[in-house]
Amino acid sequence: MIGIILAGGKGSRLFPMTMITSKQLIPVYDKPMIYYPLTTLMFAGVREIFVVVDPSQITNYKSILGDGSQWGLEVKYLLQDEPRGIADCFNLVPPDKRNQSCTVILGDNIFYGMGLGASLKTIYSGNGALAFAYEVSNPNDYGVVVLDSAGKAIDIVEKPQEFKSKYAIPGLYWFDQQCYELIHEIKPSKRGELEITEMLKVYLARNELNTQILARGTAWLDTGTPQNLLSAANFVSVIEERQGLKIGCPEEVALREGYITKTQFKSNLASMPLGEYRSYLETLE
């Protein structure tokens, strides 16, 4: 399985912060935003990761993520010269990788919950598509999934004007290898983009879409607006200060998941400047 992080786009809702840098490189408390979706994929057992980026930002991303080898990963970059929608990522995947299923995550989404990391490894069967459902108070701001009494998806609506469902679809999805062909069945929306909800509808029509309600107590944070970015930073700050543990720390995840050896972990530390981040990692040795 490969992983895809969506980090393209212009970040217009965060203007002027995004005048010179990508939205996903802006800090969320003490780490670049992209560290959070990256570690979510790491917890899911994904080690070959493609990052969709704007060509103007490729140097910045390589400076921060490199080739991923420092974390036991293989990180590559897919260039998207203009926003063409989330589902466009399937068109960007190299042909020699299209025999694999994929996990897609939005670069501005943060997931956190006790036991979530362990469950991500086994949640997807490898067949069809899988999307989460998350109860929200403002469903008209999101794509929502309508569930029947058995919890099975029966409809998907993008930002409904009238109430359809209380369950939003967070930015984390799984697709089997059919996705690279099925993407051709989707037409651009009114805003000229290939919508991920339309891709999910294709799987729904084929009776191949599974949904999983995120457990109560699991946090899903969208950092795409200034207020949401601040809320996410405050959330991470409170959790880290109360628990003394970090969220979204790739060095720690790589060590605990066995992606790197202790020797490589210590080598990573030696290359870091002195500071709170390094001090925390030194407690893990």
Number of folded domains that form the chain? 1
Q: Within a domain: residue 42?
A: yes
Structural domain harbouring 84:
2-228
pLDDT the model gives residue 167: 94
Whether residue 233 lies inside any domain: the answer is no
Q: Give me 72's structure tokens.
A: 């036991």
CATH number of the domain enclosing 20: 3.90.550.10
pLDDT at 140: 85
**What integer pLDDT is reported at residue 224 of this predicted model?**
86
Say which residues have a Cβ less than 8 Å from residue 204's Cβ, sequence separation at least 6: 153, 154, 155, 156
Q: How many CA atoms lie within 13 A of 208 on its CB side?
A: 17
- What pLDDT, in 10s, does the model give residues 163-179? 889 999 999 999 999 99
Nearest CA among 103, 24, 46, 33 for reference residue 254: 46
Of 255, 238, 249, the C-alpha closest to 276 is 249
What is the rounded average pLDDT of the residues 195-220?
93
Whether the per-residue pLDDT at 10 is higher than 80: the answer is no
What is the mean pLDDT of the segment spanning 218-242? 94
- 139 — pLDDT class (breaks 50, 70, 90): confident
Using a cut of 0.85, tell me whether the model's pTM lies above it.
yes
List of E strands, the chain: 2-7, 27-28, 31-32, 48-53, 74-79, 102-106, 109-112, 129-135, 143-147, 153-158, 167-168, 172-175, 209-213, 219-222
Q: Around Cβ 13, how many Cβ atoms within 10 Å? A: 15
Residue 52: inside a domain: yes
Kindly state the average pLDDT of the residues 249-255.
97
10, 53 contact by CB (below 8 A):
no
Instruction: Establish whether the linkage from the previous residue to 16 is cis, with ω within 30° of 0.
Output: yes
The answer to the question of residue 280 being in a domain is no
Is residue 258 domain-resident? no
Place of tokens 């930015």: 171
> Would residue 254 count as lying in a domain?
no
Is residue 175 one of the residues assigned to a domain? yes
Query: Between the CA of residue 142 and those of 37, 137, 211, what are the distances in Å?
Result: 19, 11, 16
For 41-86, how does the pLDDT look when each residue is reduced to its tens digit (9 = 90+)? 999 999 999 999 999 999 999 999 999 999 999 999 999 988 888 9
> When comparing pLDDT for 151 and 263, which is higher?
263
Over the stretch 88-132, which tens digit does the pLDDT of each residue have? 999 999 999 999 999 999 999 999 987 787 789 889 999 999 999
Residue 276 lies in a domain: no
Residue with tokens 């989707």: 186
Share of residues in the chain with pLDDT > 90 (%): 78
